[in-house]
């Protein structure tokens, strides 16, 4: 049974952020703690797009596949068009990373008609040209098996050029079905690819990434990729072409 098509009306790529528990990350301590989250800039020719992303090793950024795919022809953008601005805020970025290789889930095919298959494969990994391991920048670990009812937070960027990230707290997972995580968080332009965090033993861990917005019974929700199966499948693609060193970096965080 199709989950999205029957239960949810999707507004893919159109986001709305309007509630009282969102706030900007402003302090120095916050900026250091969250510097592994950053803006993903895609530019070239007349193209200028913004998404969010999160470091999962010092050389790899997790984001949404639709952030790195050309919507007109379905091809993956060339690496020289993509930069990751770690810890972007009022003072600029903690570090700037240039994409070296881009890996999109093999089953992802961009479409303007949103489906289970689209959202559940909307995941990509960007390998950076040089590692990000200075200025207190640190990657985040994974929670690969989040539970319904579990509290979550989303930290994302918005379209204004010098905006610090926004943190959305006091949300929870409403349901998990067909490799899709539905939460009652709402998001803004630029939130695609943003990490959805759960907290385990006081540590925030990546449970999903933002793919799209939807409505359930008239309520705004966000949709994310369930990372268990899709992430494993994407990692299998990386193993075929990435160096042993790069895979060891990823494995350290993903399977910790």
The whole-number pLDDT of residue 17 equals: 30
Lowest mean pLDDT across 116-125, 140-149, 163-172, 205-214: 163-172
Identify the architecture of domain 27-140 in CATH: Beta Barrel (2.40)
Residue 19 · residue 35 · CB < 8 Å: no
In the chain, what are the domain boundaries?
Answer: 10-22+141-225, 27-140
Measure the CA–CA gap between 124 and 84, rounded to whole angstroms: 13
Tokens of 61: 């950024």
φ, ψ for residue 55, nearest 5 deg: -70, 130
Highest averaged pLDDT of the listed ranges 7-11, 23-27, 28-32, 114-118: 114-118
Q: What is the pLDDT of residue 8?
A: 47
User: Do 27-140 and 10-22+141-225 have the same topology in CATH?
Assistant: yes
Is-contact 60 73, C-beta < 8 A?
no
For the cut 60, the answer to whether the pLDDT of residue 190 exceeds it is: yes
C-alpha distances (whole Å) from 195 to each of 2, 51, 217, 240 are 25, 11, 25, 26
* pLDDT tens-digit map of 88-137: 876 777 889 999 999 999 999 988 877 889 999 999 999 999 999 877 78
Q: How far is CA 219 from CA 3, 9, 61, 184, 207, in A?
A: 17, 11, 31, 8, 22
CATH number (2.40.10.10, 3.40.50.720, 2.60.120.10, 3.90.1570.10) of 10-22+141-225 reads 2.40.10.10
Pairing of strands 82-86, 37-44: antiparallel
Q: What CA–CA distance (Å, rounded) separates 132 from 39?
A: 14
Alpha helices, DSSP H only, in 110-210? 116-119
């Amino acid at each position: 049974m199709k989950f999205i098509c029957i239960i949810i009306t999707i507004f893919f790529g159109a986001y709305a952020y309007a509630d009282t528990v969102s706030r900007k990350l402003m302090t120095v301590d916050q900026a250091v703690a969250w510097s592994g989250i950053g803006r993903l800039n895609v530019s070239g020719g007349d193209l200028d797009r913004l998404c969010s992303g999160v470091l999962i090793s010092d050389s790899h950024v997790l984001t949404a596949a639709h952030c790195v795919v050309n919507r007109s022809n379905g091809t993956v953008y060339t690496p020289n068009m993509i930069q990751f601005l770690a810890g972007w805020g009022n003072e600029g970025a903690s570090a700037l990373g240039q994409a070296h290789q881009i890996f999109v889930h093999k089953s992802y095919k961009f479409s303007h008609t949103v489906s289970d298959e689209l959202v559940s494969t909307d995941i990509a990994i960007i390998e950076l040209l040089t590692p990000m391991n200075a200025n207190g920048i640190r990657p985040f670990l994974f929670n690969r098996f989040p539970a319904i009812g579990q509290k979550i937070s989303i930290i994302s960027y918005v379209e204004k050029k010098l905006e610090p990230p926004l943190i959305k707290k006091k949300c929870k997972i409403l349901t998990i079905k067909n490799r899709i995580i539905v939460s009652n968080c709402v998001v803004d332009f630029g939130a695609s690819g943003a990490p959805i965090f759960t907290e385990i033993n006081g540590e925030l861990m990546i449970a999903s990434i933002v793919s799209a917005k939807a409505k359930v019974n008239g309520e705004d929700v966000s949709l994310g990729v369930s990372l268990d199966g899709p992430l494993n499948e994407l990692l299998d693609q990386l193993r075929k072409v990435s160096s042993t060193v790069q895979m060891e970096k990823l494995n350290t965080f993903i399977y910790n």
